[in-house]
Structure 1
Amino acid sequence: MASEPSRSRSEVRRVALSSYLGTTIEYYDFLLYGTAAALVFNKVFFSNLSPVIGTIVALATLAAGYAARFLGAVVFGHFGDRFGRKNVMLVTLVVMGLTSGAIGLLPTYDQIGSFAPLMLVGLRLLQGFAVGGEYGGAVLMASEHAQSGRRGLASSAAAMGAPSGSVLATAAMLAVAAMPDEQMLSWGWRVPFIASFAMLALALYFRTRISESPVFLEASTTSARPAGAPITRMLKKSPTTFVKATLFQIGPYAGQGVFGIFIISYAPTIGYSRSTALLAVMLGTLGSIALTPVYASLSDRIGRRPVVLGGILATAILAFPLFHLVNLGNPTVLVAAVAAYLALVMPAVTGVAPVLLTELFDTELRYTGVSTTYQLAQTVGSGFSPLIATSLLAMAGGGSNTWLIAVFLIVLGVLSATAAFALPDNFTRSLASTEGSTRQRAKVVDPQGEYLA
């Protein structure tokens, strides 16, 4: 097994804190848009459309941001694998903070007509582009600074940032939703976006004070830089790994999109208040923050695959029961059901999938591999599932006819579970192994009995 670069505990803690804070703020910015799209944007930027069509179009702009994430993952992954993790993460942070703040300053459709939604979509695409390079870098910085036996726990700091950002975004919009409609639509929705400028300054303070990944530095001094773009080399070297690494995440992330975003626009149509749906999502996400390091630490002991498989299968199994509970019309039951799913099921995937991905790729391809597979899965899963769920609901006749959405989650869950089972579990692998290195790597056996480095 390859030796690992030395790390000081204080530096590991500092990197973990930086990864957590930076990812929290970036995902606050990115996910704030999702909540605003479900509650406000159909009335502010698409007021010329009917309420139903306006909601679908607003959610389509949400999906557009997710689509841009893959391009960002390719571009920033390229530079992160070539020149290091730290500087790339600074760039993504600045772009995200500035574009999010700018959304809060946009004029509305009633003020400038069709230019308003066009500007909104443009800023959303920049948001997606920036966040496409953020998450992979944060996970790598935390995991590549950590020792092998605690890599899952260390990387969970970055994984906790996404739900933490979601809690902040949901809390901000919960406060906005409690305002009278006139105030909410005129200026209230802008405040959470404009706050991004101050949060950007805070995140930069911490991120500029960490050191580059020791694993990347060690690889850059012991092996020659391979020719060709990282994305091209990755797809040539291990195309099946890329496909499986993407597919295993799609099912549970679709569940996250349905019960974390779609539910906010769906619940009011069957008699719930907006605040009830937002409260359910916020409580569930708070619970996921607490359980993320628990699942990640468990994966350090028993492996990544068993934990992730549990979350994937639970999403498929619970699809019908969850919608049944939601459709009962009882606010307490809705809050309990949605919160329990987001808190107990999702962290098994969101808290462990990032480190599982980290251990699949060599150092020279790791930023690209982690970022592209994660962002592509998020795009297809979380990004498009609210739009797909809205369309499936309309196909089924509207109202509480959610059975097509449940079937959709079950089908994706089966596909994701199959892919997860087919991936190797490299939780004992040293991240110091590199593509051009002559050092001996740890051997890990995949389900078909083949040895994988």
Structure 2
Amino acid sequence: MNPTQPERPAGRQPARAAAAAFVGTTIEWYDFYIYATASALIFGKLFFPSNEPFISTLASFGTFAVGFFARPFGGLVFGHLGDRFGRKKALVATLAIMGVSTVCIGFLPTYASAGALAPVMLVLLRIAQGIAIGGEWGGAVLMASEHAPRERRTFLASFAQLGSPAGLILSLVAFRAVAGMDKDALFDWGWRLPFLASAVLLIVGVLIRMGVRESPEFEQVRAERRTAALPVAEVVRDAWRTVLLCLGANVIGVAGAWFVNAFMLNYTTQTLGIDRALMLDCLFAVAFLQLATQFASGWFAQRLGVERFLKAAAALAMLSPYPMFVLVSSGRPIAIVAGIGFAVMCMSSSYAVMAGFMANAFPVRVRYSAISLSYQLCAALAGGLTPLVGTVLAHRYPGQWWPLAAFYSVLALITLVCIAWLARKRAGVAQSSTGVLVEP
């Protein structure tokens, strides 16, 4: 399956589409990240009380993982709708589902007042969040990339990825604002405020997305009546190898983000005894570094070569956890920011560029379904399980960080191998007409 080359868009729609992708994914990731932060700091005690903190934390991260397992379903449903009926309609729907689910979490009763019903409702709303974010990512990437001229596609597609650090910044601002509250007030009602604030963001996001036109590439396919009847079936039949390689290529960008922002927050506060407010401040500083790194990565990769850039980023990510753990273990704020910041720069460089890289791997008629399936399966496996695996390793090897660092390096190695293999595979497709290389 060969990618369809885009037409050159006219007017200001490319910039508007990129901006809308950024704002929309920022709101979606804000909702997702506040759940991650609450899982690390709040939900274990309120929804899964236990005499053993390890059990409470594991249960809390279990509900966190549930959202990731729901993401492939969201990707399939909204990928189908986006490939059949349009990217824009699917994106407005995912934003609405995410916003309503997040606000409802803010109104949930806790285990103390509702018993087992409380964690059940939390899990159901978490599943709704997972479905929404599962459908969101692919559409946001495509609205940005399919509106873009060919020479700017990688850069403008990266704007959808900028929503992740921007959403993280907003979520950390929200939780930092309530983290200084009295502990009783925080666990009683203060934790609810970041979730309830999502109602305002929901209104803003829907209004912005309604102002962007449908993807011109999709409109062309629809006008020519070339839309796929069952896009997912077509992807599985014709491009399953490419889907698996794209899944692997995303591993460090997905798993690394949750390793740093969910597991490390819990590890540093519970295992190393670092103050919760201090860690939130450090992660806040790192989030700005991630935002700047991702913006620069899209620009540099477009000029230096996407595949070469991705390989270098993955190789550096393999080395990054060792200085990270050494510096974080010191407990000094500057060292914590430097250690986590280096790891995040390597990881986020890959994450920023991967969107455009994947979009070019599939044709327009099935592109939403294909990239959603690749990315969301990776999210379910690598993203959802990473905090759980990290928690188990920290419990199994108390006081030792090297198993955690080795685990992170293996994640980066998977990405490096898959990028190299996918690059070779794509080169084979490009040269198959000459008989030099043929796709297996």
- TM-score between both structures, scaled by the size of structure 2: 0.94
CA distance 1:329–1:188, shift in 2 (3 Å): same
Corresponding residue for 1:178? 180
- Conserved 8 A contact 2:324-2:342: no
Match of 1:359 in 2: 360
Give the distance between the partners of 1:129 and 1:226, measured in 2 at CA.
Answer: 22
Shift of 1:449: 5.8
Structure 1 residues 351, 132: closer, same or farther in 2, change over 3 A?
same
Say which of 315, 318, 342 aligns to 1:316: 318
- Residue matched to 1:108: 110
Map of 1:325 onto structure 2: 327
Structure 2 residue aligned with 1:409? 408
Question: What is the 5 A alignment of 1:38-437?
Answer: 38-227=40-229, 229-268=230-269, 269-342=271-344, 344-396=345-397, 398=398, 400-424=399-423
Which residue of structure 2 lines up, in the alignment, with residue 437 of structure 1? Answer: none
AA of the residue aligned to 2:437: E
**How far apart, in 2, do the equivalents of 1:198 and 1:204 lie?**
10
How far apart are 1:167 and its partner, in Å?
0.8
Letter in 2 for 1:423: L
Q: Normalization by structure 1: what TM-score?
A: 0.91
Structure 2 counterpart of 1:271, which letter?
G
CA distance in 1, matches of 2:233, 2:123: 29
Q: Distance in 2 between matches of 1:299 and 1:360?
A: 16
Amino acid at match of 1:349: S
How far off is 1:445 after superposition?
7.8
CA distance in 1, matches of 2:17, 2:425: 23
Contact 1:11 1:210 in 2 (8 A): yes
Query: Per-residue displacement from partner, 1:320-361 (whole Å, max 9, x unpaired)?
Result: 22112222333331122112322x212211110111110001
Contact 1:284 1:340 survives alignment (8 Å) = no
Contact 2:242 / 2:422 at 8 angstroms: preserved in 1? yes
Q: Which moved more, 1:12-21 or 1:40-49?
A: 40-49
Question: In 2, Cα distance between the equivalents of 1:126 and 1:266?
Answer: 27
Matched residue SS, 2:226: coil
Task: Encode CA deviations 1:384-416: one digit per residue, 9 max, x unaligned.
Answer: 1111100011111x2x31221112122222222
3-state DSSP of counterpart to 1:271:
coil
TM-superposed deviation, 1:225: 3.4
Match of 2:420, as an amino acid?
Answer: F
SS at match of 2:423: coil
Letter in 2 for 1:24: T
Query: d(CA) in 2 for partners of 1:188 and 1:2?
Result: 50
Q: Which runs of 5+ in 2 are unaligned?
A: none
Q: How many residues align?
A: 434
In structure 2, distance between residues paired with 1:157 and 1:426: 27
- Residue by residue over 1:166-205, the C-alpha shift from the partner in whole angstroms, topping out at 9 and shown as x without a partner, is 1101121122222111111011100010011111001111
Give me the whole-angstrom Cα distance separating, in 2, the residues matched to 1:146 and 1:226.
Answer: 23
Q: Is the 8 A contact 1:103 1:120 kept in 2?
A: yes
> In structure 2, how many angstroms separate the alpha carbons of the residues matched to 1:68 and 1:349?
24
Residue ranges of structure 1 left out of the alignment (5+ in a row)? 430-441
Query: Residue type matched to 1:368 in 2?
Result: S
Q: Distance in 1 between matches of 2:364 and 2:246?
A: 17
- Between Structure 1 and Structure 2, the one with more helix by share is 2
**How far does residue 380 in structure 1 lie from its aligned partner after superposition?**
2.0
- The 2-side partners of 1:86 and 1:425 are apart by 33
Q: SS of the residue aligned with 2:12?
A: helix
- 1:450: which partner in 2? 437
Q: Which string of whole-angstrom CA distances, capped at 9 and with x for unpartnered residues, describes residues 37-67 of structure 1?
A: 0000111111245222101110111011011
- Contact 1:272–1:331 at 8 Å: present in 2 too? no
Q: How many angstroms apart in 2 are the aligned matches of 1:260 and 1:271?
A: 17
Are the equivalent residues in 1 in contact too, given 2:97–2:129 (CA < 8 A)? yes
SS in 1 for 2:42: helix
Letter in 2 for 1:47: P
2:289 and 2:438 mapped to 1: Cα distance? Answer: 38
Q: 1:138 to 1:2 in 2, by over 3 A?
A: closer
